[in-house]
Every structure is written in C-alpha cells, then in structure tokens.
Amino acid sequence: MSEPSYRRVIVKLSGEALTGSQGFGIEQATVEKLANDLVKAASLGIELGVVVGGGNIFRGVEVSERGVPRPVGDTMGMLATVMNCLVLEAAIERAGCEARTLSALAMPAVCETYNRKRAMKNLGKGRVVLLAAGTGNPFFTTDTTAVLRAAELEAQAVLKATNVDGVYSADPRKDPKAKRYERLSHQEAIEKHLKVMDSTAFALARENHMPIIVFSIAEQGAIEGVLRGKGRATIVG
C-alpha cells in the first residue's frame, strides 16, 4: 500500500453520519464504526482533528423556522455538535486511541475549551482531537469550522465525508445525468453553486489554499483509504 502524504488533516463528519439507519439522532453501532475508521487512520501516524456537525439533532435554521431567534437556534445546533463529539470521543477511546473533545463554547464541567495551542499539543501527542461547538458563533456551519480549524492548525487538507463518492454537478441520487468531478478549483465550486459545502467554507478554503477532499464514508476504512490516496474522491483546490 502507498504511504500517506499527509502529516495532519481535519476530518469533517456531518451529524447525519452518526444516524445510521435510524435517520435521526445517534446510532451507537454507526458511531463505533466511525470510531474504528478514525483509529485506523490515526494508526498511520497522521494527526487527526475531527469536526462533527449537529444536523442529526438540531440545525439553527430549522429551529428558527419555529419562531426561536436564529442565534438561539444556532446555539442549540452548536450544543448538538458537543453531544456528537462526546459520544465519538468515548467510542474512539474504547477502540484504543486517546481522544480529546475541545469545545469552542466554554463548558468546563463537560470538556476542555478549544484554543489553538491546546489543540496543537493534543494532536502532537497522537490524540484524536474532536472539535466541538463549531466556530462558537451563530450564522456559521461546521463545514466552515472544518476549513477554519484546518487553516489555524496547519493541516494539509480537509477530508469532507459525504454519502457519495465525490462532488457531482447535481444530486446523483435524484438526477441520473449528474456529472462527477474528479478535480475542480475552489472558484469553480463557488461559481457552480455546488452544494457539497457552503460558499463561506469554499471561500475560506480558497483564501488559504486548503484542499478539500470529498469522499464517501459508507465503506469501512474509507478515511484510511483517502489518506493512502486510494478509493474514489473529488479533490477541490
């Protein structure tokens, strides 16, 4: 097998990746599978930061449609990401690798607060660092968080896990004519309004020359496969 060319990466998992067949919330067996994949990837000697979304529990926009102020809905969304990180942290430790959740919103009774130095220190010790509570600010997404943390923590790429094996011109599950891209620039992703990440995330990645590797999390060992340059993925950037 080829040797990985990365030293440090940020993996972005959506909240949906934790739902399994349930379609909502957290399915423990799915969390265990993700944790095993992450531990295998970390065993390659690559430092892993993981940004987890919260859409399986709350999304700010959806909460605000029910009349709750958007910043409150977004705070609920950020708290949802903390729950997802905690369950994943426990599963990673059970799978045999040390892990630490660092939250952008201070909650000292629950986990440590994110700061760059602390994250770097934990990564350097070979711990999987779970980056919780997004950016800590409303009106942002965890995709933007992943790019932000990748730039801050000097990672070489963002690995964006999805349900499909790359970026398509349209949803391939709905449109049989959807074209799959092997490689495209950040600018093209923005101009074509590709839905794989929000435009703030793409713009930040473009400014910081941060590659985004879009791949399917469905296969066991998918993260390790991407790190070894195997398997199907689209490289943006």
The residue ranges that bind ligand UDP (CB under 6 A) are 14-16, 53-55, 59-60, 73-74, 77-78, 81, 134-135, 137-138, 140-143, 145
* Nearest CB to ligand UDP, comparing residues 60 and 211: 60
* Nearest CB to ligand UDP, comparing residues 137 and 208: 137
Query: Distance between CA 70 and CA 132 in Å, rounded?
Result: 19
* Nearest CB to ligand UDP, comparing residues 44 and 68: 68
* Nearest CB to ligand UDP, comparing residues 106 and 182: 106
Are the CB atoms for 186 and 199 separated by under 8 Å? Answer: no
User: Please, what is the minimum distance in Å from the beta carbon of residue 74 to ligand UDP?
Assistant: 3
Residue 18 is given by DSSP the state G
Please give the single-letter amino acid code of residue 209: H
Query: 92: Cβ–Cβ under 8 A, 6 or more apart, which residues?
Result: 35, 38, 39, 99, 128, 130
Tokens of 190: 């923005």
User: Please, what is the minimum distance in Å from the beta carbon of residue 142 to ligand UDP?
Assistant: 3
* Nearest CB to ligand UDP, comparing residues 157 and 161: 161
User: Please, what is the minimum distance in Å from the beta carbon of residue 133 to ligand UDP?
Assistant: 7
Give the torsion sign (CA, 106, 111, 114, 115): positive
The rounded Cα 29 to chain-centroid distance in angstroms is 19
User: Which residue's beta carbon is nearest to the bound ligand UDP?
Assistant: 53
User: Please, what is the minimum distance in Å from the beta carbon of residue 145 to ligand UDP?
Assistant: 5
